[in-house]
Structure 1
């Protein structure tokens, strides 16, 4: 039990670190978002592929059963690209809140479209979560810029689609490793778009992107998939709500970002409502 809790916390810290590392690199101007995305995907693919090979060799009876697919790889690419571009202007905590809200709402929306019966409490929780998101985006001095916020929401939707498509895969680590590799087919486009800007990429920016791809993404996803079978579906959804909180405090500590009352209230409304929704998720008697 303690081992499961420890690995879960490690995975959640890795997810939060993705937001922190990206914001840290882009805020300082050490790298542009397209270069960050390219390096993150390449380093993540290499790390995941090496971990997958180690897994296959360590379990002699294991074979590669899932080589991913192009649609999932495209979702992964859109998630990573919009994530990086959005973090040029969004604070760490705000970006993480929008991202994970969009992920959860996408997965909830998928359940509704597939006519999964919902309880009245769940419908109420959805209304509260939406109200929290509207409150976060209402015009004020602290409201996030609209375009970056929309891009981060698109990133969350893309990751939600990726997660939905991965629910039925037999070997999630293998699928993710191959999807990262498949996403590299689109990386040359990013390289061509930033050819004239490579001189502005500093070693610090490169190392931050590698850390995001190899450690926060590659190792982080590996640990998550290790612990995921030991968690109930509702538990897995609820614990991920800790990530925006971790990212917010990381931004305050490491980047001196302000913790606004609007962000605190919006976080409480959105994350609390989604938690209620997930905990109330059980079959409705008909």
Structure 2
């Protein structure tokens, strides 16, 4: 609530990208010039997309968002060895629901419309769960650095998904999205150099 969406997204995706690039280097994964160039291009496109709406953040929410980015990177690293993406994602969601349930119960009585609960379950448990399962299934084919760069496409995919909700797609969003996707494609298609 104390951090704008654009600023939060820049912090989140910047931390995911940085953490996965560092993890790739730590584990000796080779990084070719084209892969690094693709990552820089994609991150630059994301910055151009989000910076006009970004503002200087307060430190506590910025640190929380950075922590979320590092957690997402950790989740990605953990999923690289997933043998059963759907089962692993279901287990992760079940385990993650326990602290959420405690927080919900601690909040006291909350009014919830049945339609709102159904939408939350459909988007949170079903759509997100299947999305994470698909991500875990794709991870073994990606290197760590490539996985980080691929995640930079999420805001672009989200913007395209907004079309289904009747949200307009501004020319700047199209141009920046094309830059992000070009960088992601370059990073994913480039062979890793040894």
TM-score normalized by the length of structure 2: 0.68
- The residue aligned with 1:187 is 100
- The residue aligned with 2:29 is 116
Provide the aligned C-alpha RMSD in A: 4.0
Q: Do the aligned residues in 1 keep the contact of 2:85 with 2:136 (CA within 8 Å)?
A: no
| Residue 170 of structure 2 corresponds to residue 257 of structure 1 | no
Question: How far apart in 2 are the matches of 1:225 and 1:274?
Answer: 15
Q: Do the aligned residues in 2 keep the contact of 1:122 with 1:280 (CA within 8 Å)?
A: yes
- The residue aligned with 1:216 is 127
Q: Do the aligned residues in 1 keep the contact of 2:42 with 2:181 (CA within 8 Å)?
A: yes
Question: How far apart in 2 are the matches of 1:252 and 1:146?
Answer: 29
- The residue aligned with 1:202 is 113
- The residue aligned with 1:136 is 49
- The residue aligned with 2:177 is 267
Question: What 5-or-longer segments of structure 1 have no aligned partner?
Answer: 1-84
Matches within 5 A, 1:6-155: 90=5, 103=16, 106-138=19-51, 140=52, 143-144=53-54, 155=68
Deviation at 1:111, TM superposition (A): 0.8
Deviation at 1:118, TM superposition (A): 1.5
- The residue aligned with 1:167 is 80
Q: Do the aligned residues in 2 keep the contact of 1:100 with 1:244 (CA within 8 Å)?
A: no
Q: Do the aligned residues in 2 keep the contact of 1:130 with 1:270 (CA within 8 Å)?
A: yes
Question: How far apart in 2 are the matches of 1:133 and 1:173?
Answer: 30
Deviation at 1:214, TM superposition (A): 3.5
Question: How far apart in 2 are the matches of 1:172 and 1:226?
Answer: 5
Question: How far apart in 2 are the matches of 1:195 and 1:283?
Answer: 55
In structure 2, relative to structure 1, the CA distance for the partners of 1:265 and 1:102 (3 Å cut) is: farther
Matched residue SS, 2:192? coil
Question: How far apart in 2 are the matches of 1:226 and 1:167?
Answer: 7
Question: For 1:260-281, what per-residue CA distance to the aligned partner results, in whole angstroms no more than 9, with x for missing partners?
Answer: 3333333222332122112114
Question: How far apart in 1 are the matches of 2:4 and 2:22?
Answer: 28
Which stretch shifts more, 174-183 or 239-248?
239-248
Question: How far apart in 1 are the matches of 2:157 and 2:36?
Answer: 27
Q: Do the aligned residues in 2 keep the contact of 1:97 with 1:267 (CA within 8 Å)?
A: no
Q: Which has the larger radius of gyration?
A: 1
Question: How far apart in 2 are the matches of 1:170 and 1:250?
Answer: 30
- The residue aligned with 1:233 is 142
Question: How far apart in 2 are the matches of 1:108 and 1:178?
Answer: 27
Question: What 5-or-longer segments of structure 2 have no aligned partner?
Answer: none
